[in-house]
């Protein structure tokens, strides 16, 4: 008897921009931009050519994270109560609240691929 395992992926991949140079221009270094991907809004930032994509609202009290800033430790700092979140893992590094939701992204020659 044969057994099959079927994997369903509910993730969607979006591509931001047409090429690497355009993406680097669209998202200035350490600036936070809000991007609409289908029905989902995300924040996108970068440190050099390392990109980070995360949910738009702070897990603490839902402040807009695009009003925050990126510090020198690859953390996003919420403007409201200055809680900090690691951009690689989403872990809250200062404050007490759930972690930040992070989305996988990859900079390619054809644009920034984002999985949500």
Q: Which residues bind ligand FES (CB under 6 A)?
A: 58, 60-61, 63, 78, 80-81, 83, 95
29: three-class secondary structure by DSSP: coil
20: three-class secondary structure by DSSP: helix
Q: What is the DSSP string of 47-102?
A: ETTEEEEEESB-TTT--BGGGSEE-TTSEEE-TTT--EEETTT--EEESSSPPPPE
13 vs 34, beta carbon nearer ligand FES: 34
CA distance 81 to 19: 37
CA distance 29 to 37: 21
64 vs 115, beta carbon nearer ligand FES: 64
23 vs 87, beta carbon nearer ligand FES: 87
26 vs 97, beta carbon nearer ligand FES: 97
């Amino acid at each position: 008897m044969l057994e099959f395992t079927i994997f369903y992926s509910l993730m969607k991949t979006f591509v931001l921009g047409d090429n690497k140079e355009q993406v680097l221009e669209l998202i200035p270094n350490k600036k936070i931009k809000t991007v609409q991907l289908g029905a989902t809004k995300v924040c996108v930032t970068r440190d050099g050519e390392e990109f980070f994509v995360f949910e738009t609202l702070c897990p603490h009290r839902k402040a807009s994270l695009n009003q925050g800033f990126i510090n020198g430790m690859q953390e996003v700092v919420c403007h409201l109560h200055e809680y900090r979140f690691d951009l690689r893992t989403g872990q809250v590094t200062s404050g007490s609240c759930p972690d930040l939701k992070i989305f996988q992204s990859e900079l390619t020659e054809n644009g920034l691929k984002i999985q949500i």
